[in-house]
Structures are given as structure tokens and as C-alpha cells.
Structure 1
């Protein structure tokens, strides 16, 4: 199967989607939601591109390196934003995003 060569990246992308979705949901429940607006926006952006790349890799996309480059950029932006917040969900999300960004750069 075409996706076997990217199995580790597919798993990392899946974990990043989960972390971003959890962070998104938790940020919406924070007392000062307005302060979390950029974090929430980037959580959605990151989860969406990671989920898309995960599916594309499983299909054997010929655009893997191009998509991975965009994904890495968005993951870094999300990680940088989440890192600014002390909430545990934000810190865990930042960690997942940075891990994913590095994995994406390997095939970009």
C-alpha cells in the first residue's frame, strides 16, 4: 500500500488532530474566551490541515511534500500560539504541534 512508507507521520498527524481538537474545545470553556481567540482559530486550522494530510497520505497523494510543507508551517504557528498560554491543554497541544511540524518537514 502507498501509505505504508508514511505510517509514522500518519500516526503523528492523527495525534496532532486529537490534541488540537481537545485544545479547541477546552479553550472555548475558558473564562476569558476572547483572550483564547487566536489559539482557538489556529487549533481549527491545524486540526483541519493535519486531518487532510493524513487522508491524502493514506490515498497515496503525489502532493505529499507540498502538503507537508504547508502543514508544518501551520503546526508551528499553532504550537507557537498555544505555547503562550499556561493551560495544560495548550501546552500539550503545543508539544503535539511541534512534533508534527518536525515530522512533516522530513518529507517536505
Structure 2
């Protein structure tokens, strides 16, 4: 998958899910007293990338989301938002994995 296609897949989450993810991520960072710069270093991404996640512009790819959840001691589903209907969430993940 090219970088452009990969970005399009991540940005294809509906805005409300990206916003919820950003809010959950910011809460978790605040709870654990971790800065965006520290998170970026731990995840091996730029501070800008973490800023995009926190502001709800993008959601990390599956591998990074799992790595992020492990680092923050939570689950990917919790980061994506408890309010998501589980079938909707499963459909989104299935679409991302198959590249639809």
C-alpha cells in the first residue's frame, strides 16, 4: 500500500470517530502524564503525526494503534471510543484490513 493510499484509508474513518479517538488519546496522555513529544519518540513518529492523532485528523494504522494501546496500557477499541457500535467498529477494521 502506498503512503498516499495508506493515508486515505486512515482518513476514511468518519470524522466523529477520529474526533473521539483524539479526545481519548489526549485523556490517556494526561492521565499518564506523557507529552506528545515523548509519545512521538516512543512510537517512532514525528510530533506532527501525534498532533494529527490528538486533533482527530488521522487515526494510526493497525500496527501503530496496537503499539500505542500497549504503550498506554489500554485497548485499541478503548482508544477508538467505547461508544462505537461493535459491529460498526468491526466493519471499519475489516475494511481497513482488506483495503476496501
TM class, shorter-length:
0.3 to 0.5
Task: Tell me which structure has the larger Cα radius of gyration.
Answer: 1
Give the TM-score normalised by the residue count of structure 2.
0.38
Q: Per residue, is there more helix in 1 or in 2?
A: 1
